[in-house]
Amino acid sequence: MKHRDIIKVDDLSYHYGRNLALDYISFTVRKGDFFCFLGPNGAGKSTTVKLLTGQLKLQSGEATVDERNIRTENKEIIKNIGVLTDDMVLPKELTVRELLKFVSLSFTYSNSKAKDVSNQVISKIGLREYANFKIAHLSSGLLRRVSIGQTLVNNSSILFLDEPTIGLDPVSSREILGLIKKIHNEGITIFYTTHLLKEVEQLCTSLAVINRGKIKLCNNFLNLQKHFKKKIEIVISNKLKSLVRVIKILKKNGWKDIITDRKKILISIPSNNVSEEAFNTIVSILQKNKIAFSKAAIKQLSLEELYHTIISEGGINETLVK
Amino acid sequence: MKHWLNKVWLLSKYEKLLMIRTRKGILLILMMIGLGILSIILELTGAPKDIYKFNDILFTAYNIYFQFLPIALAVILADAISGEKERKTWNFFMSKPFTKMQFLLSKFLTDYIVVSLAIVLMWGIVFIIAKTITSEMNCSWGQFLTLIVISEAVVFAIVAFEITISAVSKRVSVAVLLIVISWILLMIFNMAIPLWRGFIAPWAVNSYQTSVITRLLNTGPKKLFPFEYLIGYPSINEIFASIWIPLAEGIVFYIFAILTIKR
């Protein structure tokens, strides 16, 4: 069954004063996805989350969250989503139980229902023994659990989690990721921003990469994974001029999945080809066309390398953008 | 509407809890009572007098107290909204289905209730001290209660003014500075703008409220600038005007805050 798009972003742009934070970005997220929004610091991840969750006012473009327009149905959206942003701090004077009850009551639950819901959430996030602790007295890891817990109170269909593991030690980080994974397995769509590639590999089912306010890549993670397989790396001696020629020649010979940056070409090896055979074929094509190259090798491309290729100037092949 | 008010109530409960747990509420009340006692001491240790009159003490207490009340309250009220923004708890509240109007109203109501309670306590203490010193009460209970009601109306305007400044500031320190600057400017405008003289800063010496209280208690300067033309015991209409003008000013401040505050 094909899932419907639960988030649709179309030509969204945003300025902080004169600085452009989002440069006409477009992407979609399907219902049930674990969508990772990947990008370096200052890329525009948090701005996107704040726009989609009504914390910033839309300047231009259109977007819908769960079929509701963020421009006109902001209040309805807030009622139906859970949000955790990196610049959100919970009121320190409340206890865990008081905070969750307060959030439940904000969604106009009755007093008894609010009590039940807060108890359920406390169990879900595994904080029963800390329920009467003040927020101010919790460790970073426990605090992050409460932050995630407060997004679960209203049975939302989408959770926006903006770098939820930032600043945590590896053990706490692992626990938080486990909790988020558990929540996703219950069928909740997760919009997850991060700059940590390990988390992307562990969690996501689809992803978009953003850099300097522009979407550099948007793809289903399974489709993208083929780029993690073996690649043939060729470093061209005469750089730009030859680079364009090489791409043309390779494409003419049936090699379509090519990623380039200023210095090198990375060619995906289709799964039905043996890597050594593919390597020999490409080398012979280059030699036949008298193209000088300083290096040619079979390479295992990791997500990190793919990410750096995407983020670096020169960008990526258009075939990777949905 | 019921849900809307329930949310204001919920936020007010949070604010009340905050006041109790941070001891902000009790410190605020103590500070206001202390300021009341200080204003009496300043009167008693000022120009030497052989006989102190009950109503003179009340008037001086009012005069000194309300001159500096906006500055004293700034220490606590500047934090109301800008403190939430600085601590980033504002982002938490705004990610929940609350409107900024509900948030402002809850802050305003809770802070006003605490401050008005402190005012009643302060007047109670001033009353006891004045009675002890003078062993007489040369004003009626009606006059004394009217004094308290006018004080409460003036405090309404002060609380609204300070919460508005807090709402437009992102940092507490900036809010405190803005309150002090605005306090100075309003005092200047209160004396300088024709037709509006005496009506802009209800806490000022040269305000319509002070003029009414002077005549109500039959004490202080006989002709008070800019209301030299008002003489004799104030009429009911004048007393009502001295109450509704600061209330209206407070509402104008509140509307301004709603229009200017950003999510």
The pLDDT tens digits along chain B (263 residues) read: 788 888 899 999 998 988 899 888 888 888 888 888 888 887 777 666 666 778 888 888 888 888 888 988 998 899 999 999 999 999 899 888 888 889 999 999 999 999 999 999 999 988 888 888 887 777 888 889 999 999 999 999 999 999 999 999 989 999 999 999 999 999 899 888 888 888 888 888 888 888 888 888 877 666 666 766 777 788 889 899 999 999 999 999 999 988 888 76
How far does B262 lie from chain A, in Å, by closest CA? Answer: 9
Single-letter code of the amino acid located at A71:
R
- What distance lies between CA B90 and its chain's CA centroid? 25
Distance from CA of A70 to the nearest CA of B (A): 14
Q: Are A89 and B6 a contacting pair at CB < 8 A? A: no
Residue A243: which residues within 8 A CB-CB, separation 6 or more? Answer: A236, A260, A265
Question: Which of A70, A86, A89 is the best residue to mutate to test the B interface, defined by the most B CB atoms within 10 Å of its own CB?
Answer: A89
Between chains, do B92 and A88 touch, taking CB under 8 Å as contact?
yes
Residue pair A82/A151 in contact by the 8 Å Cβ criterion? yes
pLDDT for the residue B217: 81
Place of tokens 């004396």: B191
Inspect the interface and report whether the beta carbons of B97 and A103 lie closer than 8 Å.
no
pLDDT tens-digit profile of B92-112? 998 888 888 899 999 999 999
**Residue in A93, A118, A133 to test binding to B, most B beta-carbons within 10 Å:** A93
Q: Hey, are the CB atoms on B22 and A93 less than 8 Å from each other?
A: yes
DSSP A195: S
Q: With contacts defined as CB-CB under 8 Å, which chain B residues touch A79?
A: 97
In SS3 terms, A26-94 reads as EEEEECCCEEEEECCCCCCHHHHHHHHCCCCCCCEEEEEECCEECCCCHHHHHHHEEEECCCCCCCCCC
- CB atoms A105 and B10 under 8 Å: yes
* Residue A301 token pair: 């491309």
Measured N-to-C along each axis, helices A96-106 and A111-124 cross at an angle, to the nearest 10 degrees, of 130
Strand, helix or coil at B176? helix
Domain total of chain B: 1
Domains along chain A with CATH numbers = 5-224 (3.40.50.300), 230-300 (3.30.70.980)
Q: Which residue in A has a C-alpha nearest to residue B4's C-alpha?
A: A108
Closest CA to B108 of B174, B167, B152, B153: B167
Cα distance from B17 to chain A (closest Cα, Å)?
A: 8
* Residue A229 near residue A302, CB atoms below 8 Å: no
B89 vs A contacts (CB less than 8 Å): 89-91
Question: How many A-B residue pairs are in contact by the CB < 8 A criterion?
Answer: 58
- Mean pLDDT by runs of 10 across the 322 residues of chain A is 80 90 90 89 89 89 91 88 89 92 88 90 88 91 90 90 86 88 91 86 85 80 65 73 77 78 70 70 82 77 71 50 42
Report how far Cα A100 is from the mean position of its chain's Cα atoms.
27
> Which of chain A's residues have a Cβ under 8 Å away from the Cβ of B92?
88-91, 150
Q: Which two tokens stand for residue A201?
A: 């590999």
Q: Give me the pLDDT at residue A307, please.
A: 75
Measure the CA–CA gap between A205 and A37, rounded to whole angstroms: 11
Domain that holds residue B200: 2-260
